[in-house]
Amino acid sequence: MTSTGAGNLLHEIASRMPYMAPAMRQIAELVLGDPERARTMTITELSDAAGVADSTVSRFVRELGLDGYRSLRLGIAEATFATRAAAAGPETQYVYEGISRDEPPDSVIGKVERSSAEALRQTAQRLHPEALSAAVDLIENASVIAFVAQGLSSVAADAGVMRFIRAGRKCLLFHDQSVQIMSATNLTAGDVVIGISDSGRTDAIVDTMRIARSHGAATIAVTSDADSPLVGVADVALFTATIPGGGLYGESVTSKWGQLLVIDALYATFAARRFDQTLEHLEETYTAAIQHSRMA
């Protein structure tokens, strides 16, 4: 019926919505806002409610990889049924992503592996080539790349510093919130800030990006939330997987795989453009590191 899978249709729509054309985004917002109503509508009723033409709904269906409007309605119905079934089930408490009391090790391994793979898959779907290319344009022209992150998002920021320093770029990363914000006042046109926040609502990250932008620096957001304040202060936004489950998930490593994927994609795209220069810097930094280790 679909390349996406009906059970994931509503999630798929939410993942793709930030990159949709305005007319198709209106359809997505209507479907996500009231899927129970949307699944009963004819194509004309849906197009009228969204304020678009029937042909736009047809393009929306094709964009999702569905083979017809009937498949859209069926996918919405199956997704809403699954949601209701989950809500009706007994309440379960988890200490980690899907890990309940006395979970056996083999089950823990399987669940962590699946959630990690899902985070990578979702991020790859949301990471559009045009946005990635635009972000690399900013990095390629930057004098300094400043990374801004807090908590576990700092893992991706540290990885970014390592990647781009080895590629010959000047990088900054301050872990203290106050220093991050103060450093933004020293950034100017020709610099770029990469703010990494899963929620996109960490005040220190948003403030640092806003201040840097006011001083002329370019800004790149790495976040899962297309409607977050961080996106509002970004010249380019790169979206990671949307992992359900609230604050507990925000502290898990699996929810950070998407951030690492984005950082690696940024570096790899940059390195592919500047292939010879990157190889030269990789060799030089490797040699310097080896010599230092022998002297230690």
Structure tokens at 231: 């996106």
Q: How far is CA 61 from CA 26, 54, 126, 176, 227, in A?
A: 13, 11, 18, 46, 23
Contact status, residue 127 vs residue 261, Cβ threshold 8 Å? yes
**Rg of the chain (C-alpha set):** 22
State the pLDDT at residue 6: 38
State the pLDDT at residue 81: 67
Element (H, E) at 7: none
Confidence of residue 2 (pLDDT cuts 50, 70, 90): very low
User: Taking the model in full, what pTM does it have?
Assistant: 0.70
Residue type, 57: V
pLDDT digits 0-9 by tens, 157-197: 999 999 999 999 999 999 999 999 999 999 999 999 999 99
Q: Count the neighbouring beta carbons within 10 Å of the beta carbon of residue 212.
A: 27
State the pLDDT at residue 251: 55
- In order, the DSSP letters of 108-168 are HHHHHHHHHHHHHHHHHHH--HHHHHHHHHHHHT-S-EEEEE-TTHHHHHHHHHHHHHHTT
Identify the weakest region by mean pLDDT among 96-100, 119-123, 147-151, 200-204.
96-100
Residue type, 42: T
Closest to 237 measured CA to CA, from 8, 4, 16, 18: 18
Structure tokens at 202: 């960490």
pLDDT digits 0-9 by tens, 223-273: 988 889 999 999 999 999 876 544 444 456 677 899 999 999 999 999 999
Confidence of residue 4 (pLDDT cuts 50, 70, 90): very low
pLDDT digits 0-9 by tens, 111-158: 778 778 888 888 888 899 999 999 999 999 999 999 999 988 999 999
